[in-house]
Amino acid sequence: MEQTPEYVIEMLHITKEFPGIKANDDITLQLKKGEIHALLGENGAGKSTLMSVLFGLYQPEQGEIRKNGKPVKIESPNDATALHIGMVHQHFKLIEVFTVLDNIILGAEDTKMGFLQKKDARAKVKALSEQYGLHVDLDAKVEDITVGMQQRTEILKMLYRDNEILIFDEPTAVLTPQEIEELMQIMKNLAAEGKSILFISHKLNEIMEVSDRVTVLRKGKYVGTIDTASTTKEELSRMMVGRPVQLVVDKDPAQPKEAVLTVEGLTVPSKIHKNDAVKNVSFTAHAGEIVCIAGIDGNGQTEFVHALTGLEKASAGKIELCGRDITHLPIRARSQTGMSHIPEDRHKHGLVLDFTLEQNMVLQRYYEPQFQSHGFIRFGAVRSYAEKLIEQYDVRSGQGPVTVARSMSGGNQQKAIVAREIDRDLPLIVAVQPTRGLDVGAIESVHKQLVAQRDEGKAVLLVSLELDEVMNLSDRILVMYEGEIVGELDPKKTTVEELGLYMAGAKRQGKERESA
């Protein structure tokens, strides 16, 4: 008789090399049955590679994987599925135009003579969603449902396949505080029912709240595994980064001066639905302050920024920048009036990926006399300017100014954009999710730069989805919900919980009395 092994899944001494780098260097991860085990590490620490090994996407050079104590060979995702390992990816693996039910059964369909039989599947999914409190409309198309529901669909996908080991890859990045709360509950339910959960994250609060044990990786190496109950956030962050990290930005109180940007009654039509994406938004941003527009993704922030910067047309309202009415000006004229823009999507708007770094560095100012004469580009000036920015902002790349932007890491791409926009030295900086995808060290440096710009007397308009960033960085918070500003908060006087209520639309200023 064999005794029940302690671990359902063990990855022992895994080493995976890519040309020039060891992505995983002797990493061990052991998952107990029924536990929630957090995997903590910065971008580039090797979490994704380790999971790819577990899913058979990569074969490790060394090390072995055991299921219930027995060595197993995982050569493809199918092998992983056969071992009842399932994963909710950070970016959902859903077919948007399919219904929820079709998404759940895809790859594990019941058929009769090749024809789909959905009746039993529907019953099974319904039972599962009752059991775990995962409510979702099975006949709705995925593109029509909320992100939270999409995530539930992903969880149902795993449960439908009778998976025992559930992996959640950065599951909270896209959720509202309330949805995060629900997810935490769901994860606890699942663990209580005997499922084993691997929770990949770099958010310390959530790890502290939900996990039983934590394994920390840093730069491809195994740092250690500890019980959550016996550690602190500070210790975890030190393990993750390798040095003590300043979790809060140091900054003096803001000293707002004259108004730089005044927005009055701005309304922007939506491209997707008939309602307006941005409704009657008014506010002022002053020199020397960081104003933050907070909100859950998809509440009109993108459209607002597009209307502000000229990428989209507003249907009503007025925008005044540095005393000039820019409501109807084209993009370049606005930017010349005094607006730099760190865009939300660095691949779509921020960079021309097939251009070199130096070409990207002058994307906003190639036409200035400094960089051209009579329509001919002054290559020397472009080169030395790019070198200056690379040096000054610590942008790392393979071949310096002539590196093709596409080949750079996400963090360095973002740094290049931040460098380009800040160096334009304009009165208003519109920074949309400026730290997305950056690791802790880089986030720290971007935050410092933005504060420095504020202290120099610039107005900074920050649009962010990260609650920590909102609370730490801003001098004033405007919460946007369904296209409206529903509250103006002082970060020193409010709490994350209160902010969350505003973001979720549960609370709003001016109407509080009615709802109370």
Binding residues among 376-415 for another protein as defined by CB under 8 A:
376-377, 398-399, 404, 406-411, 413
Decide: is 171 part of the binding site for another protein (CB under 8 A): no
Closest approach, Cβ 72 to another protein, in A, equals 17
Distance from C-alpha of 386 to C-alpha of 363, rounded to nearest angstrom: 11
Binders of another protein in range 488-507 (CB under 8 A)? none
Return the range that interacts with another protein (CB under 8 A); candidates 273-281, 320-328, 370-378, 508-516: 370-378
* Candidate list 27, 36, 94, 291; residue touching another protein; CB under 8 A: 94
119 Ramachandran zone, left/alpha/beta (phi>0; psi -120 to 50): alpha
Decide: is 43 part of the binding site for another protein (CB under 8 A): yes
**Hey, which residues does 27 pair with through a beta bridge?**
14
One-letter-per-residue 3-state SS of 152-178: HHHHHHHHHCCCCEEEEECCCCCCCHH
Cβ pair 204, 232 in contact under 8 A: no
Binders of another protein in range 2-21 (CB under 8 A)? 18-21
Please state, as a whole number, how many other Cβ atoms lie within 10 Å of the Cβ of residue 367: 12
**For helices 301-309 and 331-338, angle between their N-to-C axes, nearest 10 degrees:** 80
Return the range that interacts with another protein (CB under 8 A); candidates 236-244, 374-382, 427-435, 491-499: 374-382
Measured at the CA of 175, the angle between CA 172 and CA 176, to 5 degrees, comes to 125
Closest approach, Cβ 259 to another protein, in A, equals 24
Measured at the CA of 337, the angle between CA 336 and CA 338, to 5 degrees, comes to 85
Helix or strand (DSSP H, E) at 141: none
User: Among residues 45 and 183, whose Cβ is nearest to another protein?
Assistant: 45
* Candidate list 60, 350, 491, 500; residue touching another protein; CB under 8 A: 350
Decide: is 253 part of the binding site for another protein (CB under 8 A): no
Closest approach, Cβ 155 to another protein, in A, equals 14
* Candidate list 32, 33, 89, 318; residue touching another protein; CB under 8 A: 89
Per-residue binding string, another protein, 421-460, x by CB under 8 A, is: ----------------x-----------------------
Decide: is 177 part of the binding site for another protein (CB under 8 A): no
Return the range that interacts with another protein (CB under 8 A); candidates 87-95, 182-190, 256-264, 495-503: 87-95
* Candidate list 124, 188, 318, 349; residue touching another protein; CB under 8 A: 349
Distances (CA, A) of 57 to 27, 78, 454: 17, 10, 46
* Candidate list 245, 353, 440, 496; residue touching another protein; CB under 8 A: 353
Cβ pair 340, 430 in contact under 8 A: yes
Distance from C-alpha of 401 to C-alpha of 390, rounded to nearest angstrom: 8
